[in-house]
Amino acid sequence: MSEPKVLLRGNRLGLGQPRREMLPEYHRWENDPGTVLGYGNQFPQAWETREAGWTGQRGNHNYPQFEVVRLDDMKPIGITTLMVNTFVRTAEFVIVLAPEARGKGYAIEATRLTLDWAFHLGALRMVWLKVLAPNEAGIAAYEKAGFQRSGRLRQSGFWLGRPVDELLMDALPADLPGPSAVAAHLDAENTENTDRAAVSTQDT
Q: Return the active site residues.
A: 142
Q: Which residues of 104-137 are buried (b: 16+ CB within 10 A; e: fewer)?
A: eebbbbbbbbbbbbbbbebebebbbbbbbbbbee
Cα–Cα distance measured from residue 11 to residue 47, given in angstroms and rounded to the nearest whole number: 34
